[in-house]
Amino acid sequence: MKTITVFKGDGIGPEITDAVLEILKAAKAPLDYEIFRVGEAEYEENGALIPEKAFASFERNKILLKSPITTPVGKGFRSLNVTLREKYDLYANIRPAKSNAAVVTPFKDVDIVTFRENTEDLYVGVEEQIDAGTVHATKIITRRASTRIIADAFAYARAQGRKKVTCVHKANILKKSDGLFLSVFREIAENYPDIEADDKIVDNVCMQLVMRPQQFDIMVMPNLYGDIVSDLTSGLIGGLGLLPSSNLGKDYAMFEAVHGSAPDIAGKNIANPTALLWSACMMLEHLGELDVAAKIRRAVDQVLAEGSCKTPDIGGKATTAEYCSQIIGRF
């Protein structure tokens, strides 16, 4: 049995976490859980968004399944997601977007994995008021951070039998910063003659993604483009409710849905737990529990393919609880 840490966050966080834990238990995932409330409610009651004992649990267990957390606006908080990524050096954000035949979108056969650098770029949060009408924001790109994310993207491509890695950048304008990212990409690509390597400018990528998304396989890019482009890829496959992610570092791993806390639908029992559930599958695969992950993925595919039990975000009328019990019924 492996013990993992679970953060229940804000908005739809608690309800999708409960659904996912119920499914993991029903699938007999060999896991024990240390579960913590984090986020706004925890802050209001105890004065910290993430309690110390929750951090300590993650530091012990090294694996975190995290639901969305709202960072209170206007109270001077740094984003909790950014804080966690920095504190535990979770440098590789991996976001697989794969079409599911049962979820109808105008885009078919999309199968794209985005590797987003997670620790630098404009996310370093360095902004400077120059004068009343001028603000500067700092974009940081380093050889070290670029090398590890790009190397991971190529290693993943080879391990998974994928064909191509595309570097996404704006090096025509940001000649030094994105220029460095691109030159590191070209250096590393030389070690992978078996994998096609190409690069594209980010605005062109956005256009190409909606014209012919099937041309993309693995994409690797700096932090901000990764944030935006991967949301775009979620739109190609049916929305944020279907996009899982892993955040990997050398010592720690965190698994979370890409979407936010969706306060507009919180507490209504209509949230789609699939993105968090697939994140949990990525976690099981990371832990070597391939059979349990495959069992859950199969059950989800069956329920979606059968068609009568879908949550409203993907065109159905089912509640979170109904969808969850349909999945459990397939084990």
Q: 273 in helix, strand or coil?
A: coil
Q: How far is the CB of 312 from ligand ATP (least distance, A)?
A: 7
- Give helix 177-189 / helix 143-159 axis angle, nearest 10°: 40
227 labelled catalytic: yes
Kindly state the helix (H) or strand (E) to which residue 168 belongs, with its residue range: strand 164-169
8 binding ligand ATP? (CB under 6 A): no
Backbone angles phi, psi at 75, to 5 degrees: -110, 15
Please tell me the distance from the alpha carbon of residue 16 to that of residue 269, in angstroms, as a whole number: 9
224 binding ligand ATP? (CB under 6 A): no
Smallest Cα–Cα separation from 212: which of 107, 112, 98, 115? 107
Which one among 99, 177, 230, 261 touches ligand ATP, defined by CB under 6 A? 261
Please tell me the distance from the alpha carbon of residue 99 to that of residue 179, in angstroms, as a whole number: 32
| Closer residue to ligand ATP, CB minimum distance, 179 or 260 | 260
Please tell me the distance from the alpha carbon of residue 164 to that of residue 111, in angstroms, as a whole number: 12
> Looking at 124-132, 148-156, 213-221, 264-272, which segment touches ligand ATP (CB under 6 A)?
264-272
Q: How far is the CB of 19 from ligand ATP (least distance, A)?
A: 10
121 labelled catalytic: no
Q: 261 in helix, strand or coil?
A: coil
| Lookup result for tokens 């059968």 | 306
| Closer residue to ligand ATP, CB minimum distance, 148 or 259 | 259
Query: Closest-CB residue for ligand ATP?
Result: 260
Binding track, positions 67-106, relative to ligand ATP; x by CB under 6 A = -x--------------------------------------
**Interacting residues with ligand ATP between 50 and 69 (CB under 6 A):** 68
264 binding ligand ATP? (CB under 6 A): yes
Phi-psi region of 125 (alpha: psi -120 to 50; beta: other; left: phi over 0): left
262 binding ligand ATP? (CB under 6 A): yes
Annotated catalytic residues are 123, 170, 203, 227, 231
